[in-house]
Amino acid sequence: MTDSQGDGVGGATAMDLYEKLTAQGDKVRSLKTAKADKAEVDAAIQLLLKLKVDYKGVSGQDYKAGCPPSESAVVSNNGQLGNGAEEDTVDPWNVATNSAKGVDYDKLIVRFGSSKVDQELVDRIEKVSGQKPHHFLRRGIFFSHRDMHQVLDAYEKQKAFYLYTGRGPSSQAMHVGHLIPFIFTKWLQDVFDIPLVIQLTDDEKYLWKDLTLEDCQRFAVENAKDIIACGFDVNKTFIFSDLDYMGSSPEFYRNVVKIQKHVTFNQVKGIFGFTDSDCIGKISFPAIQAAPSFSNSFPQIFKGRKDVQCLIPCAIDQDPYFRMTRDVAPRIGYPKPALLHSTFFPALQGAQTKMSASDANSSIFLTDTPKQIKNKVNKHAFSGGKDTVEEHRQHGGNPDIDVSFMYLTFFMEDDEKLEKIRQDYSSGALLTGELKKMLIETLQPIITAHQEKRKNVTDEMVKQFMTPRSLDFNF
């Protein structure tokens, strides 16, 4: 569910019109109940009918009370555009495209109804934070947002916000792609000096994967160690497992139930593609991922306040959960969460899919040795180079489809050096083998340093991060 499905009448979005329709319907019923003047009732009905026409024109859907515009037709229709053309598949469980360049993110912004992270927003984040924008922002790795300007407006008025991101612990070892939201979230936490909650959806993995509850809980602890190794401030960070926290926090569970009451089965089927054969745990899970978006889900942190806005940095495939959340929020009296969406970290074999924790050769894992990193890059990293050295020297390579170059855009911080590599590779001055060597030399020290930090993460530290408690900050 979303607050935008394209520009509507006078700039109104589908959600704007839906909310006006709902209010107008209530008004018509009230007038009839009060036996108001016939002319007044007729005028209200005429406006209601006009709004219904406007709504269908913007959303492509007939208005139904209790069924907000969900973009669900768009989300569940990942395979096809309206004209029958092939479309990228992007949902919380599947990412695929036929393009060697990867997902078309500009089209995805239109499809999901979000806003582009443009230079104006990047400049504004720099001005408000007083820090040079992270290279993930400068390079468009975090490329889309919802309500980021609103978050910055509030921050400028000394109204703080908090961060929420998460991890689905489906395996003991995380890969480098899993680090992207945590690297960026840490930067946000540092520059804005705000609290952070990190949800480990071990319940989700139990429902979707062939894993035991014990496996999921064990993976959650192991993944927490990798997350802590990213350098988060224990005094400002709460990491929690759904299987543990929801049973011990009445406030969290109450919000889950509030959300569940306001989302219909038809809506979750439309948004997430659930079928009649899916277990009821899957159908009810989206409310659990939505609940951390609301500050009073964490009374130990926010002292019962429900008005602290949430900012969620996440990969774009998680957006369906939060479109649903943003639709529910005003109906249960909470602020809508804002979002910053990242692109996908491509598999070694190419950008047609994202990395998989279940395929050892699709990923560089945080447990890989320098030798394994070298072998994986040399053997499996998809090349944008030509078939022969002579042809490559003459025509150059294509950095837009070359996985080694894509990885460098994530992990090489020097903008000028990265641009020089792009130019040299495109001109043929830099060979594929040389580009792969640069990536290997970039990744090896990053992974080694992470492994050293992780060794220092003790079970006691994990327990400290995962214990519900107050955090250090001022609101």
Say yes or no to pLDDT of 174 above 80.
Answer: yes
23-32, 352-361, 450-459: range with highest mean pLDDT: 450-459
Pairing mode, if any, of strands 142-146 and 115-116? antiparallel
Q: Read out DSSP for 65-88?
A: TT----SHHHHHTTTB-TTS-B--
Give the lowest-confidence range in 122-131, 416-425, 454-463, 466-475.
466-475
> Distances from the Cα of 185 to the Cαs of 86, 182, 344, 414, 459, in angstroms?
34, 5, 16, 20, 23
- DSSP element (H, E) containing 89: strand 89-90
Residues 460, 475: Cα–Cα separation, whole Å? 29
Question: What pLDDT was estimated at residue 245?
Answer: 97
pLDDT band at 58 (very low <50, low <70, confident <90, very high): low
Say yes or no to pLDDT of 466 above 90.
Answer: yes
Partner residues linked to 365 by β-bridges: 175
Q: What are phi and psi of 263, to 5 degrees?
A: -125, 125
Residue 336: CB atoms within 10 A of its CB come to 19
pLDDT band at 36 (very low <50, low <70, confident <90, very high): confident
Among 285, 224, 287, 283, residue whose Cα is nearest residue 256 = 287
Q: Which residues of 253-276 are buried (b: 16+ CB within 10 A; e: fewer)?
A: bebbebbbebbeeebbbbbbbbee
454 SS3 class: helix
Give the lowest-confidence range in 107-111, 213-217, 323-327, 455-459.
107-111
Nearby residues of 469 by Cβ (< 8 Å), 6 or more positions away: 238, 300
337: its two tokens: 């969460």
Residues 26, 14: Cα–Cα separation, whole Å? 18
Mean pLDDT confidence for 6-24: 64
Pairing mode, if any, of strands 338-342 and 115-116? unpaired
Pairing mode, if any, of strands 237-241 and 196-200? parallel
pLDDT band at 44 (very low <50, low <70, confident <90, very high): confident
CB 384 within 8 A of CB 402: yes
- DSSP element (H, E) containing 58: helix 38-59
Mean pLDDT confidence for 3-16: 50
* Average pLDDT of the residues of the chain: 89
Question: What pLDDT was estimated at residue 30?
Answer: 78
Residues 399, 410: Cα–Cα separation, whole Å? 14
Mean pLDDT confidence for 171-191: 94
CB 359 within 8 A of CB 348: no
What is the longest distance spanned by two Cα atoms in the chain? 86
